[in-house]
Amino acid sequence: MEGIVNGVSACHAFGIIHKDLKTANIFLEHISDLALWPYRIRIGDFGICRVTGIRRFEEDVSISRKFMNVFGVSIR
């Protein structure tokens, strides 16, 4: 739950609204055998997402990719 909230919150903060959130678009990436929760949440399928702001779409996505990596979220 926390992973999804952090991920979508980061998207909204950078002007990306997913618009098609569902369990089929939430992915678990196995990152470690040692951690208590060995998965990282990834949010996928931004096919119908809304990108707000005055920057061009490509610019927005590349900026968001860069920052969302900080939050452990990626665009697929």
Partner 1 sequence: MKLAYETFIRYAGPEVLQRLSVFREIAHEANAEHLLQDPFAAISVEQDKASDMYSFSMIISEVLCRSVPMNALGMEDVIRRVVLHGDRPQLSADGTELRGAIIRIVTGAWNPDWRKRPTFNDLVGLIGLLKQA
Give the residue, chosen from 50, 55, 56, 66, that forms a contact with partner 1 under the rule CB under 8 A.
50
End-to-end CA distance of the chain: 20
Contact 41, 4 (CB under 8 A): yes
Q: Does 70 bind partner 1 (CB under 8 A)?
A: no
Q: Does 76 bind partner 1 (CB under 8 A)?
A: no
72: Cβ contacts below 8 Å, ≥ 6 apart: 3, 6, 7, 40, 41
Beta carbon of residue 58, minimum distance to partner 1 (angstroms, whole number): 20
In the complex, the residues that contact partner 1 under the rule CB under 8 A are 1-2, 4-6, 8-9, 12-13, 17-24, 26, 50, 52
